[in-house]
Amino acid sequence: MIIDLTEMDAGELGVISEVQGGHDMARRLQSMGVRPGKRIKKVSSHFWRGPQTVEIDKAQVAIGFSMATKIFIEVQR
């Protein structure tokens, strides 16, 4: 099942399948290690459209809500 990052539950694991958005957004996410094919774990999210905290390669990264809606993850449910 493919969902966006905001729909993942805390503690859930998945693989990034697609990143939509412009060239600048893709470059910014790649600099944080967020790119297709990477394993990702959602650590937490904040109430009311706040940042989404994820773990990639043993590093935690906070991603803004609007950016997180453009990151699609393949999860096993």
pLDDT band at residue 1 using 50, 70 and 90 as cut-offs: very high
Predicted pLDDT of residue 55: 97
According to the model, what pLDDT value does residue 46 have? 84
Question: Is residue 34 helix, strand or coil?
Answer: coil
Residue 48: per-residue pLDDT: 86
**Per DSSP, what are the bridge partners of residue 14?**
40
Non-local CB neighbours of 61 within 8 Å, separated by 6+ positions: 32, 33, 34, 53, 54, 55
Q: Domains in the chain, please, with CATH?
A: 2-74 (2.30.30.90)
The per-residue pLDDT for range 15-73, each reduced to its tens digit, is 999 999 999 999 999 999 999 999 999 999 887 889 999 999 999 999 999 999 999 99
As a whole number of angstroms, the distance between CA 62 and CA 52 comes to 5
Query: Is the pTM of the predicted complex or chain greater than 0.85?
Result: yes
